[in-house]
Amino acid sequence: MSKITFTVPASKTPQTVSFDLQDTVVPTISGTTPLDPVVPPPVVDPPPVVTPPATPYSIVYSNGYDKDSDLDHAHLQLGKGVVSTTVTKNSAGSFKSIVNVGDQPISSGFRSENQYDSSLTLPEGAVDFDINFEKWESPGWGGCCIQWHPGNNDNGGSALLFMEVAQKNWNVYFWGKGYQDSYSKVTPINPNQWYHLRFETKWTRDNTGYIRVFIDGNLYWSYTGQTLISSDIPYVKDGQNNWANNAKTAPHGMTLYIDNFVISKKN
């Protein structure tokens, strides 16, 4: 094994260092002041490739209610609903749902709502929207802000699931509990404040279905079990549907705004 010898100045005393050509560090040092060994840099493995998880939901429909054509004029239940450009949530417009005291009933109720086809609801998915309540002129039982209806007049024409707000509280009602105190608690609604609502649903006739209601990201109410009474996936409507025993004289009146309405499917 051959060696190389050379002199290195160190401190005040020159030092002679011998290297074996096949060595990777200094084996011998002559002199009075030792030198630090030559340490090769560590081998660093590249960071592992991490594939981000798939998004659990993907959007199938969205509506910002920025123009009149965004409103549902086809089903003739829009009532006095219009596009508002003054009360919005991070967008150019919102759906202003208006029901006034003394209005004539529409389909046995005081309505101002948009309807969406059941093909958008999907067996498993979610609905998100922002909502703002301007006023209640005469609060009373009823006054949905969103509801799901089955087809073929199943459930006697009544909604399967709805959020009732006319009493100035968030009340969730679901047919599986007989519309009797389906909500877990009563939380007051503050006027002129934006709220974000999210409904996650799985529509099925077996016990694997579920409903989860979130208000501003917090779980408000949940249910697990059968969610359908027929094979028809329900269609969803947003906006007001106020009702009473006598639709011609009931004094309901309320104005609310809905924005950023999004329907998603579970991947």
pLDDT band at 114 (very low <50, low <70, confident <90, very high): very high
Mean pLDDT within 199-217: 95
pLDDT at residue 196 in the model:
98
Residues 162, 74: Cα–Cα separation, whole Å: 22
Instruction: Decide if 222 contacts 213 (C-beta within 8 A).
Output: yes
pLDDT at residue 60 in the model:
96
pLDDT at residue 243 in the model:
77
- The answer, yes or no, to whether residue 208 has pLDDT greater than 60, is yes
| Model pLDDT for residues 133-155, shown as the tens digit of each residue | 998 887 667 788 999 998 777 77
pLDDT at residue 190 in the model:
95
Domain ranges of the chain: 1-39, 60-266
| Model pLDDT for residues 235-251, shown as the tens digit of each residue | 999 999 987 666 666 67
Q: Which helix (H) or strand (E) holds 162?
A: strand 161-164
What sections of 13-164 are H helices per DSSP? Answer: 118-121
Does the pTM exceed 0.75? yes
Residues 174, 182: Cα–Cα separation, whole Å: 6
Who contacts 113 (Cβ-Cβ below 8 Å, separation ≥6)?
72, 77, 78, 79, 81, 97, 144, 237, 238, 239, 240, 241
Mean pLDDT within 169-183: 75
pLDDT band at 65 (very low <50, low <70, confident <90, very high): very high
pLDDT at residue 203 in the model:
94
pLDDT at residue 20 in the model:
55
Torsion angle, CA of 198/151/210/132, rounded to 10 degrees? 20
pLDDT at residue 216 in the model:
97
Mean pLDDT within 55-70: 95
CA 242 to chain CA mean position, Å: 26
pLDDT band at 59 (very low <50, low <70, confident <90, very high): very high
Q: Collapsing DSSP states into helix, strand and coil, what is residue 95?
A: strand
- Fold assignment, 60-266: Jelly Rolls (2.60.120)
Instruction: Decide if 254 contacts 241 (C-beta within 8 A).
Output: no
